[in-house]
Structure 1
Amino acid sequence: MGEDRLFIVLLVVAIVVLLARALARRLGVPDAILLVVLGIAAGFMPGLPTVTVSPRVVLLGFLPPLVYHAAFFSAPRETRTNAVPIFALAVGLTLVTTAAVAGTAYVLLPGTGWPAAIALGAAVAPTDAVAATSVMQRLGAAPRLVTILEGESLINDGVALTVFGLAVEAINAPFTVGHGVVRLVQVVVGGVAYGLAVGLVVRRVRRWISDPSSQIIVSLITPYIAYVPAESLGASGVLAAVVSGFYLGTHGEGLLQPASRLLGMTFWRILTFLLESALFVLLGLEIRELLHQPGGKSWWDVAWIALAVSVVVIGVRVVWELGNGPIADLLPGGRQSQEGVGWRQRLVVGLAGMRGAISLAIALSIPAAAGPDRELMVLLTALVVLVTLVGQAPLLPVLLRRFGLVETDRRRREAMTARQAAANAALVRLDEMASADEVDERTADTFRQMLELRLERVEYFLDEMDEDGGEGEGRREDRGEPPGSQRVRAELVRAQRAKLNTLYRKGKIGAATVRQVGNELDFAEPVSLRRPT
């Protein structure tokens, strides 16, 4: 693609992202739907160059940072608590969906062999949680549902890509069951082991870096260091990126060390937003091109085959989610993991299985050796993505409200309770410092008044649950503080962080609340005393 054409495409992507963002807020529709729909509409603009996105660009350019970021910010306690439903969806359902779609393709496309049919099944099996979780988080859905969907999406990409890789090997060369087992072990164990090694090395390296810009650079290249070599070694790059992200996210340093955490959080928030948005727009533009290539079939044949595959994808997920309770009970900890999860929650999770750009990238990777139906498989995958996005995502807000699964007030109260406990911990620490003559009386009185005022505000909002409660609770206000008080402020911030971590370990608050209140404490921490830990 020439420079002029590339500029036009990038400009169209930027315009669609801005327009979709504005409309999504006004209409209350998930960004992903509007990004895809507007992308398709933009594709019919006269003069727009043909857009063909290489699957390698998606798998190498977009996928590593997205899965690494999601793994980094995963909630370890919540993930461990919901390990059984996450494992059942990410592994069990992905394999069952692959098999069901492969069987459907084998019947409906007579010229397709089993390896190519399995490749198609692996392409449409993984979910994209962006659209679903954006709806749930905006409405304040139960955090457990969000955790399950995010955990599933984090793992099923690796499972689907592993199955797809084995299917492609079977397309290109004779394949035996023994060889498949060996390759499966190599892909999974190799990916996990290499990802853990990357996490260990990067953790050591980051201890020696305090410059914010250098920290951001290290955090940006880490997912690629995990993904690319793992793929070159024949292991799973997705699993390597996930494991490295999860390890670094749960071992104290955070995305960046304290000296650059705020800058790093802003950088990654913008980066992931741009990557996700660009993926959905490019998906829409790509679908326009695929619609011109029905794979030698009539549009009637394409329509009903796509409908059949979509029904299988959606139906298998709903049936699996509604009926896997007895199976999950057989797994260690399965019975406990099912407590509090009724048919309403299961139905919401079952209908939250939208597909995204990763599915299309996998389908585009199907080799020409798959046979004459290769182009049709790519088109079918694109149509399944479109059907699940446009057809399922709008149902989620309706179901969440109708089933009473919106917990906005509970989440706001949890955050306020955490602020209250943190302020009380800071008061206790201040009294200890005053008793030990570590702080003069004037400074102690100043901070005591500030903390007591904050407590009064939090207690008021806890009673009233005002919509604006909690905004700016942890922000700094240095005016009027006695000289030399930064050391005291830093000590009080540490006491509040310690209290947050204690509340989280005891299960009193969730990971989202820890991050929210922790970000407020980042603003409260004296700049001159922020040091890497």
Structure 2
Amino acid sequence: MTDELFILGAAIAVALVVARTLSRRFNLPEAILLVLLGLLVSAIPGVGSINVPPELVLTVFLPPLVYHAAFFSAPRETREDAVPIVIMAFSLTCVTALCVALAVGATVPGLAVGAALALGAAVAPTDPVAATSVIKRLGAPRRLVTILEGESLVNDGVALTMFALALTMLQQEITAGFAALELLHVVVGGLAYGLALAWVIGRLRPLIRDPGAQIVLSLATPFLAYIPAEHLGLSGVLATIVVGFYLGLRRDGLLQPASRLTGEMFWEVLVFLLESTLFVLLGLQILDVFHGIEGDRIWPHVPLTVLLVIGVVVGVRMVWTIVVVPLLRFRRFATIEFKERFVMGWAGIRGAITLAIALSIPAEAQGRNLLVFIAACVVLATLLGQAPTLAPLLRKLGMGESEKEMKEETVAREALLESALARIDELAADDEVDERTAEVYRQLFELRLDRVREVLDDEREPEHGKGRIRRELIRAQRKKLDDLYERRKISADARRKLAHELDLEERRRVSGTQGG
């Protein structure tokens, strides 16, 4: 087993590196490449026979993914659009799951209701990463991004609650009254537990000053929210969302700046690894899944079922955002234009969360191979069919506002720097810092302010100007640093520290060029 896990880990690592390289070089969807590479890796002796326990997928992958999305959500914007987000998340997720369950039940004879609902719950939630990355890059309205991200966050909780209900239906007969009471218990209990845990961690985290310990606690937090809640029969995903959102609201007061920078980088890498690994795992299992349904009595129904489910998933969302949303007479809905609703409908791409739910369907569940195969087809179809067309669609609809967004951010940078300079003058006037120290900080912030004002005045530096000079100066310093190390004038630690400072300087230069 140890050898198998080693082979699996090495295969996944190679797939991640190769997929990322090919994706950037040929401008191909990274997720598709990961699935294809996983499929190729499954042919290696000893790898294809490895089966990851379904419960492990849900327990290991889901909590950090949901927590990260909640923690880094936009709190003020999310509150302002809470009504569209909640209505979209609850209504559209439930309708999509039920329609998929009905479609599968009608085309696959003998499939249990619980199994059909489990598939519906798996393919109902959207994954905003592929969609919002394109939308943000093109500078589409920020509100559109907020609604898509907020909806995706809430519909994860709704879908997983329905998934838990579907698993209960697979194990025992339940009545409508029992289902309603169970949902109330799961939802309310999960929210209450999440709030209690968030309060405790919110009080604990400021007491921990070590950056490493803070990162460890941040990694443990989603699992402390999810696993105990699930053992208590509550909604672990809702508890995780509540904890992430609560701590995200107060993140500036919980962590010192150095810890925030390190923590954000750590979580970016972790989420990338988790999401990418899910796609590789799908590729590793897809042949076994396919062989599991090939030759079965349901095999003739598979192509029609796959096409029908994809049509239901895409069609229900388009109809809901274009037709149903205007009928909901809420004030916040009234200001959403037709073209924004159209993009919202077309941006319903499925991804890592759908895979996590589908792969976590119990191995003994009726028709598991079929359900996983259909879910995989839905994910691949939306990634191939919808994701590449989002950018042309946004350009066609004229929804890019990149210049406005950049100017807004740059104006905010200018205000921040001016407030810092004013505070330096106040501290110097009150003799809280000596004039020499104050002058050093003045020069630092005035230099940054000059770069910001150059952007606001649209006086961008040409390639042959100051930007090129600063680049050459950094390059010269790197060369000198390497020379000092090679001549044994400095130690490896000193070299690493100075190189890190040059990295930060280059990063500031790039960010100054892009946004001030």
Q: TM-score, normalised by structure 1?
A: 0.81
Shift of residue 389, structure 1, vs aligned partner: 1.9
Shift of residue 56, structure 1, vs aligned partner: 1.4
The 1-side partners of 2:342 and 2:28 are apart by: 20
2:133 is the alignment partner of 1:134:
yes
Give 1:266's aligned residue: 265
Pick aligned residue for 2:350 from 349, 355, 360: 355
Give 2:481's aligned residue: none
2:380 is the alignment partner of 1:386:
yes
8 A contact 1:86–1:148 mirrored in 2: yes
Deviations 1:494-533 (A, max 9, x none): xxxxxxxxxxxxxxxxxxxxxxxxx97xx9xxxxxxxxxx
**Deviation larger for 402-411 or 210-219:** 402-411
Give 1:43's aligned residue: 42
**In the alignment, residue 294 of structure 1 is paired with which amino acid?**
I
2:325 is the alignment partner of 1:305:
no
Shift of residue 113, structure 1, vs aligned partner: 3.6
The 2-side partners of 1:460 and 1:437 are apart by: 33
Shift of residue 321, structure 1, vs aligned partner: 1.0
**In the alignment, residue 316 of structure 1 is paired with which amino acid?**
V
The 2-side partners of 1:271 and 1:255 are apart by: 21
**Deviation larger for 291-300 or 420-429:** 291-300
The 2-side partners of 1:455 and 1:284 are apart by: 50
User: Which residues of 2 match residues 95-114 of structure 1 at below 5 A?
Assistant: 95-114=94-113
Pick aligned residue for 2:445 from 444, 451, 455: 451
8 A contact 1:24–1:30 mirrored in 2: yes
Give 2:497's aligned residue: none
2:323 is the alignment partner of 1:319:
no
User: Which residues of 2 match residues 14-29 of structure 1 at below 5 A?
Assistant: 14-29=13-28
Shift of residue 466, structure 1, vs aligned partner: 4.1
Partner secondary structure for residue 20 of structure 1 = helix
8 A contact 2:62–2:356 mirrored in 1: no
Give 1:187's aligned residue: 186
Q: TM-score, normalised by structure 2?
A: 0.84
**Deviation larger for 153-162 or 230-239:** 153-162
Count of aligned pairs between the two proteins: 467
8 A contact 2:57–2:359 mirrored in 1: no
Seen in structure 2, the aligned counterparts of structure 1 residues 413 and 24 have a Cα distance that, compared at 3 Å, is farther
8 A contact 2:208–2:214 mirrored in 1: yes
Deviations 1:276-316 (A, max 9, x none): 11112212222232122226147553112101111011110
8 A contact 1:72–1:249 mirrored in 2: yes
Seen in structure 2, the aligned counterparts of structure 1 residues 27 and 297 have a Cα distance that, compared at 3 Å, is farther
The 1-side partners of 2:379 and 2:111 are apart by: 21
Shift of residue 234, structure 1, vs aligned partner: 0.6
Partner secondary structure for residue 235 of structure 1 = coil
- Identify, as 1 or 2, the structure richer in helix: 2
Shift of residue 238, structure 1, vs aligned partner: 0.4
Seen in structure 2, the aligned counterparts of structure 1 residues 56 and 130 have a Cα distance that, compared at 3 Å, is farther
**In the alignment, residue 397 of structure 2 is paired with which amino acid?**
F
The 2-side partners of 1:270 and 1:9 are apart by: 19
Partner secondary structure for residue 354 of structure 1 = coil
The 2-side partners of 1:138 and 1:29 are apart by: 17
The 1-side partners of 2:31 and 2:47 are apart by: 22
Partner secondary structure for residue 353 of structure 1 = coil
The 1-side partners of 2:250 and 2:172 are apart by: 43
Shift of residue 149, structure 1, vs aligned partner: 1.9
Shift of residue 40, structure 1, vs aligned partner: 2.9
Give 1:157's aligned residue: 156
The 1-side partners of 2:157 and 2:50 are apart by: 27
Give 2:486's aligned residue: none
User: Which residues of 2 match residues 75-474 of structure 1 at below 5 A?
Assistant: 75-253=74-252, 256-258=255-257, 260-294=259-293, 296-297=296-297, 301-329=301-329, 334-339=330-335, 341-367=336-362, 371=366, 373-464=367-458, 466=460
Percent identical = 53
Shift of residue 181, structure 1, vs aligned partner: 1.4
**Deviation larger for 163-172 or 305-314:** 163-172
Seen in structure 2, the aligned counterparts of structure 1 residues 28 and 224 have a Cα distance that, compared at 3 Å, is same
**Deviation larger for 45-54 or 28-37:** 45-54
Give 1:493's aligned residue: none
8 A contact 2:108–2:298 mirrored in 1: no
Shift of residue 348, structure 1, vs aligned partner: 1.7
Partner secondary structure for residue 293 of structure 1 = helix
Pairwise CA RMSD = 2.7
The 2-side partners of 1:292 and 1:96 are apart by: 31
The 1-side partners of 2:82 and 2:353 are apart by: 23
Give 1:512's aligned residue: none
Segments of structure 1 that go 5 or more residues without pairing to the other structure are: 472-476, 478-518, 524-533
Segments of structure 2 that go 5 or more residues without pairing to the other structure are: 468-473, 475-506, 512-516
**In the alignment, residue 33 of structure 1 is paired with which amino acid?**
I
The 2-side partners of 1:94 and 1:467 are apart by: 49
8 A contact 2:56–2:360 mirrored in 1: no
The 2-side partners of 1:47 and 1:231 are apart by: 33
Deviations 1:392-436 (A, max 9, x none): 211112212222223332332222212111111122222322333
The 1-side partners of 2:43 and 2:27 are apart by: 26
**In the alignment, residue 107 of structure 1 is paired with which amino acid?**
A
**In the alignment, residue 169 of structure 1 is paired with which amino acid?**
T
Partner secondary structure for residue 293 of structure 2 = coil
**In the alignment, residue 32 of structure 1 is paired with which amino acid?**
A
**Deviation larger for 294-303 or 210-219:** 294-303
8 A contact 2:103–2:305 mirrored in 1: no
**In the alignment, residue 51 of structure 2 is paired with which amino acid?**
T
8 A contact 1:29–1:394 mirrored in 2: no
Seen in structure 2, the aligned counterparts of structure 1 residues 446 and 162 have a Cα distance that, compared at 3 Å, is closer
The 1-side partners of 2:57 and 2:286 are apart by: 15
User: Which residues of 2 match residues 490-509 of structure 1 at below 5 A?
Assistant: none
Shift of residue 83, structure 1, vs aligned partner: 1.4
**In the alignment, residue 226 of structure 1 is paired with which amino acid?**
A
**Deviation larger for 450-459 or 64-73:** 450-459
Q: Which runs of 4+ in 1 moved over 6 A?
A: none
8 A contact 1:44–1:288 mirrored in 2: no
Shift of residue 456, structure 1, vs aligned partner: 2.1
The 2-side partners of 1:95 and 1:358 are apart by: 16
The 1-side partners of 2:74 and 2:322 are apart by: 25
The 2-side partners of 1:320 and 1:378 are apart by: 26
Seen in structure 2, the aligned counterparts of structure 1 residues 104 and 204 have a Cα distance that, compared at 3 Å, is same
Seen in structure 2, the aligned counterparts of structure 1 residues 298 and 452 have a Cα distance that, compared at 3 Å, is same
Shift of residue 368, structure 1, vs aligned partner: 6.8
8 A contact 2:193–2:239 mirrored in 1: yes
